[in-house]
Amino acid sequence: MQFIQSFFFSSTNFALIALVCLFIFAGCSSIVASTKDIKDSQALQSNPAPTFDPLQTQLATTYKEQLSQNPNLTAAVLVSDGIDAFLSRAYLARNAQKTLILQTYIYKNDIASRILMHEVWLAAQRGVIVKMLIDDNGLDSDLSDIIALDSHPNIEVKIFNPYKNRSRILRYPEMVFDFNRINHRMHNKLFIADDIALIIGGRNIADNYFDQNNNVNFVDTDVLFVGKVAKDARDSFYTYWDFHRSIPVALLPLKSPLKKFKASIEKLKANPEWKHYEREITALSQKYERKDFKVHWGNANFIADNPRKIEDSSLPSPIANALGEILNHTHKNLYISAAYLVPSNEGMKRFAKLAQNNVDIHILTNSLASTDSLVVYAAWERYRSKLIKMGAKVYEYQYHGKGKSKLRDKMSKSKASLHSKSIVFDDKIAWIGSFNLDPRSANLNTESVVVFDNPEFAKVLKNDLVEDMQSAWRVYLDGRKTRWEGEHNGTNEILKHPPDTGIWTRFLKTLSKMLPEDQI
């Protein structure tokens, strides 16, 4: 007995026992990382995609005449405001009649996502077939509402490239021992209704992507497309849906019951904000039906990586190739809004060629204060001075950014972080999607974009970017020293160090430069 007591209460042995218990628990709380390891074929059965004519759906009705006469043209509506971005998704879910598709990198179980999932659930109740695919790295919990919805017969949810261990603690050793697989993620972001309407851009599904967070909100850009490009996006989605790294959440060992989701919705309905959202969604529906939006028609080209990219980095990147091709034909100006900008040596060669050809280059990215990634900012610093010397106009976003949000006054104390991934070429072509101008998007993650050819729309997007640039820090060189100029605290200031940062933040940024650029 004394031996047993001494063994169990020895600190070393106690830690060992705790670790063993943790691994035993983890073994009971795990999931396969490939459908190739699933022996039960019934576990892989999926609702077949319904066959229908997208032009006969309610969402197509408003522009049915134009869509019928010009089937190869697509309508585009810029959605830069965070609240409008949320309402647009809710509107599509509320008016869908046949199918709903959601593909996202991040899903957080908060108010905006809960309201959106309620609209998705109501759609499923109407008979709409719903499929949702979330990258497991961005799923905040196996007990999320989105997982609970999988129990509805018309809703299917999968997680992409999952961690085998569902214990959060054991994800860290899994990252180490299975780094090559875990390091590749699905970064695509699509919301598709009835194969006719598509929302694409940089936004994930969480409060801080819809201007609803009191601490940090991401300033982003989406575009609502109506037309053939939505079907192209749908086809791309299914290549991911059928990929062996997309695992049905029905196989998760622990899931939140649907009744808990319903109870949370009833509780949320008591919130005064609920009625406000109801009014706003209804108002947006009426606005859409009245054609009150500024709509531009043009050729839309959907481009996406093959999901096999996460296993074979030697695969050609259709997005990077398309970007290079467009840059080769850019002769006047280039406007870039990029949350993460790490050009690499190859990218710098392209910028140098553009500068030599007298292309007017404007670049907006995050400042050290506004970024959510010190390591990316540290890598960006390596290229910033060189770009300025080439003649590029460089801007860095202010952390209290004067964004375009309707709630900016309400959220005046919240931090703003740029999350946009938008480009305008020669005032003619617009580029929108999930692709960051960095090595991770180019080589590690999967991405998707739409290239839209319409000069009027390109100018609208350009004006949107210019508005952000005008309220950002203008970064320039004073000799060999970097300076930041901009309106700050009500006055125009010129600063000698990254604005709104302390010594500790700047030290960590410098330390971050030790990390390999191709892995950030």
Return the CATH architecture of domain 25-35+51-289: 2-Layer Sandwich (3.30)
3-class secondary-structure state, position 199: strand
pLDDT for res 402:
59
pLDDT band at residue 439 using 50, 70 and 90 as cut-offs? very high
Kindly report the backbone phi and psi dihedral angles of residue 20, in degrees, each rounded to the nearest multiple of 5, phi listed first: -60, -45
Exposure of 391 in the CB half-sphere (CA atoms within 13 A): 13
Q: What percent of the chain has pLDDT over 70?
A: 92
pLDDT for res 297:
98
What is the pLDDT averaged over residues 498-506? 94
Q: Strands 74-79 and 222-227, how do they pair?
A: antiparallel
Under a CB-based contact definition with an 8 Å cutoff, are residues 305 and 443 in contact? no
pLDDT for res 405:
53
pLDDT for res 413:
60
What is the pLDDT averaged over residues 417-426? 98
pLDDT for res 277:
87
pLDDT band at residue 403 using 50, 70 and 90 as cut-offs? low
What is the pLDDT averaged over residues 222-231? 98
The domain locations on the chain are 25-35+51-289, 316-519
What is the pLDDT averaged over residues 94-98? 97
Q: Cα(164)–Cα(384) distance, rounded to whole angstroms?
A: 40
Return the CATH architecture of domain 316-519: 2-Layer Sandwich (3.30)
Residue 409 has pLDDT above 70, yes or no: no
Residue 162: CB atoms within 10 A of its CB come to 26
pTM comes to 0.92
What is the pLDDT averaged over residues 417-431? 98
pLDDT tens digits for range 457-468: 999 999 999 999
Residue 246 has pLDDT above 80, yes or no: yes
Cα 339 to its chain centre, rounded Å, is 11
pLDDT band at residue 401 using 50, 70 and 90 as cut-offs? low
pLDDT for res 25:
44
- Lowest-pLDDT range of 61-65, 90-94, 387-391: 61-65
Residue 28 has pLDDT above 80, yes or no: no
Cα four-point dihedral sign 339, 340, 346, 352: positive
Query: For the chain, how many residues are written?
Result: 520
What is the pLDDT averaged over residues 482-504? 93
What is the pLDDT averaged over residues 426-432? 99
pLDDT band at residue 520 using 50, 70 and 90 as cut-offs? confident
The identity of residue 509, as a single letter, is K
Are 25-35+51-289 and 316-519 equal in CATH topology? Answer: yes
Residue 355 has pLDDT above 90, yes or no: yes
pLDDT for res 130:
98
Cα 28 to its chain centre, rounded Å, is 32
DSSP 9: H
pLDDT band at residue 66 using 50, 70 and 90 as cut-offs? very high
